[in-house]
């Protein structure tokens, strides 16, 4: 969750800016490329929306991403490429297997 410090009637308060994303804090999950990839896709979608609607600026977004990357590493470029196309490949593979069994 991303919050902003504000003052209400002279008292400091935190205003919720938006929900970002979540990932379970277990080593086998945080280190698994698929979980990290899914986390970063979700995080970027939420940050895109917050930036689009003026809740955060580009500098704040970069700061948030950098801070989170200290805990949840970004997936490598190769892993991102493979994981992005994997669902299509699996669906294609399954449909070709199904077609073989029908003939």
Q: What is the pLDDT of residue 74?
A: 84
pLDDT tens across 8-30, in order?
999 999 999 998 998 888 777 77
Is this model's pTM higher than 0.85 or not?
Answer: no
Report how many domains make up the chain: 1
Residues of the chain whose pLDDT is less than 70? 80, 86-103
- Domain with 58, as residue range(s), is 2-102
Q: What is the pLDDT of residue 95?
A: 58
Q: Residue 98 is encoded by which pair of tokens?
A: 């199904």
Q: What is the pLDDT of residue 94?
A: 60
Q: What is the pLDDT of residue 93?
A: 55
Tokens 């698929």 — which residue? 34
């Amino acid at each position: 969750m991303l919050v902003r410090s504000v003052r209400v009637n002279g008292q400091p308060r935190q205003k919720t800016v938006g929900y970002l994303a979540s990932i379970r804090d277990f080593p086998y999950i945080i280190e698994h490329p698929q979980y990290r990839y899914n986390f970063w896709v979700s995080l970027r979608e939420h940050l895109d929306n917050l930036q689009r609607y003026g809740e955060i600026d580009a500098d704040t977004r970069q700061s948030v991403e950098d801070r989170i990357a200290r805990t949840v590493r970004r997936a490598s470029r190769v892993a991102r490429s493979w994981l992005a196309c994997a669902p299509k490949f699996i669906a294609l593979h399954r449909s070709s297997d199904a077609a073989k069994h029908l003939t």
